[in-house]
Amino acid sequence: MRDLALCLFLFFLAKHVSSVPTKAQFQSCLSTISKTPTNLTDHTDSTLYSPSLALSSPSSSFLNLNFTSLKPILTLKPKTESEIKSAILCSKKLGVQVRTLSGGHDYEGLSYLSLSPFIIINLVNLRSININLTEETAWIQSGATLGELYYKIAKTSNVHAFAAGICPSVGVGGHISGGGLGTLMRKHGLASDNVVDARLMDVNGRILNRRTMGEDVFWALRGGGAASFGVVLSWKVKLARVPEKVTCFISQHPMGASMNKLVHRWQYIGPELDKDLFIRAIIDNNVEGGQRGVKTTFQALFLGGIDRLIPLMNQQFPELGLRAQDCSEMSWIESTMFFNWKSGQPLEVMLNRDLRYEDLYYKAKSDFVQKPVPEHVFEEVTKRFLEKETPLMILEPWGGKMSEISETESPFPHRRGNLYNVQYMVKWRVNEVEEMNKHVTWMRMLYDYMTPYVSSSPRGAYLNYRDLDLGNNTRTNTSFEDAREWGEKYYRGNFKRLGLAKGKIDPTNFFRNEQSIPPLF
């Protein structure tokens, strides 16, 4: 049955491929469609889309199909918004799909890989950031990175920040539309919770704002993944206030009974702590000082000084034994560097757009935990981690603001009742199918092992940790019913409303990918 489906699929694809427009045809369309002379250059980036990198996509469905992505017909790096319009209209006319790329960090490569003929719109040239301190807001073009945003905020004010992710090279375009969790979430929520307006280009090339797109679509953009709805040109966000001095610390614990006890204890404490205190736990296995071994690192940000932190820790988490000399006070921007292991380096490292896992390939998955996991599970995780080169598990505490926002306020539904989010990751260096299969299989087994201890019916997943294992998605025209399998893991009860918003803004399902929201009417 599966083989038959695969054959049919390849047959359709083969038929499709023979009618794929050439680069020249696409360019000729671009020059006829725009009334004003545009300057659309083809910037095909041969390094990003080499077949070996396409193969490196850890995506399971590409893998199961034993089939790698097509190459894009061309990659555009528009310098103006009207160039994006031309690209959309030509793609529609020529029957090819659009992949919008902001930071390019999608875990399954959906911003630059596709099984259907496609072009890439890379927003790297559209990344201005305008901060209004009177309003405490910023307009950010989608091509900006979190690092560029944090840097600009810090250059403008020493008491403002933005609540979003930790890695500076992540793009604002994908990140904000998929949620965006980071060190400030217990106090200020997700990046998507702090969006107050957005400019969206729709399938007809119209530019809509919050008022003109309507509340349903605006709701959908804040956590539903913008790729299903159009191209987000820019976001208007609410900045967060932070003290001039914050405090950071790390506390590391080697594998063993006391580590297991501590992580176990953290599950009760992390989500209940003062909102000003964020302590995440990272379990990994890495060579350190030539010695391999599993360890847990608690990495923390406190929105205040050491003098307030130490009594708080003594009272709420004495098991960690934190001392003043383990802590450092710094500015908020320095804390973003601390979390990236870049303390002491020039601020400008935050502007480096190229901090992806360079020559590493990886597969990730996510979970939400609602009741504390028994201690023996961390013992088993340690055992499994010892077999692997670079496995990683990051536990990020919920509670605070995350539990105050209702499940339907935005498409991101994982709110009250969750203790923490888990991200699992495994990385490898050899870009071969066999190697990839080995690691992906290991990851799936770990995920299976965790089943009894995490959320269920549906098992929750975080869109920004995209995972094509979650359900049916070998076609870009999956029906809404088939898509529920993964859709309800990401969005729970919000999935239907996302389908309706999709039906409103893009009824012909032009904006689609291997895991986009099908339209409902």
Q: Which is nearer to ligand NAG, 12 or 357 (CB)?
A: 12
Tokens 């957005």 identify what position?
198
76 binds ligand NAG (CB under 6 A): no
Residues 451-490 that bind ligand FAD (CB under 6 A): 464
Q: How many residues does the chain have?
A: 521
Cα–Cα distance measured from residue 511 to residue 84, given in angstroms and rounded to the nearest whole number: 14
Q: Which residues contact 289 (CB under 8 A, 6 or more apart)?
A: none
Q: Per the residue annotation, which of 49, 424, 465, 490 is the catalytic one?
A: 465
- Comparison of 325 and 508: residue with beta carbon closer to ligand NAG: 508
CB of 274 to ligand FAD, least distance (A): 21
Strand order in 277-285's β-sheet? 327-330, 246-254, 294-302, 277-285, 390-397, 420-428, 361-369
CB of 175 to ligand FAD, least distance (A): 4
By the rule CB under 6 A, 314 interacts with ligand NAG: no
- Residue from 17, 22, 135, 321 touching ligand NAG (CB under 6 A): that is 135
Nearer to ligand FAD by Cβ, of 260 and 396: the residue is 396
| 411 in contact with ligand FAD (CB under 6 A) | no
Class of residue 360 by CB neighbours under 10 A (exposed 0-12, middle 13-18, buried 19+): middle
Write the CA distances from 304 to 84, 422, 456, integer angstroms. 44, 26, 37
174 contributes a contact to ligand FAD by CB under 6 A: yes
Read off the amino acid at residue 456.
S
Q: Is the dihedral of CA 31, 227, 189, 315 positive or negative?
A: negative
Distances (CA, A) of 46 to 51, 120, 359, 467, 502: 10, 13, 16, 26, 33
Q: Which stretch binds ligand NAG (CB under 6 A): 129-137, 149-157, 329-337, 389-397?
A: 129-137
If contact means CB under 5 to 8 A according to the sort of partner, which of ligand FAD, ligand NAG, none does residue 111 touch? ligand FAD
Shortest Å, Cβ 24 to ligand FAD:
25
Report CA torsion sign: 312, 333, 465, 384: negative
66 touches ligand NAG by CB under 6 A: yes
Pick the closer one to ligand NAG by CB: 5 or 257: 5
Rule CB under 6 A: choose which of 68, 142, 247, 335 binds ligand FAD. 142
- Is 112 among the residues known to form the active site? no
Q: Could you say whether residue 111 binds ligand FAD (CB under 6 A)?
A: yes
Give the number of C-alpha atoms closer than 13 A to the C-alpha of residue 179, restricted to the C-beta side: 19
Tell me the sheet residues that pair with 328: 248
Would you tell me which residues interact with ligand NAG (CB under 6 A)? 12, 39, 41, 63, 66, 132, 134-135, 433, 437, 471-472, 475, 477, 479, 482, 485
Would you tell me which residues interact with ligand FAD (CB under 6 A)? 99-107, 110-111, 123, 142, 165-167, 170-171, 173-175, 177-182, 226-227, 231-232, 464, 513
Catalytic annotation, residues: 465
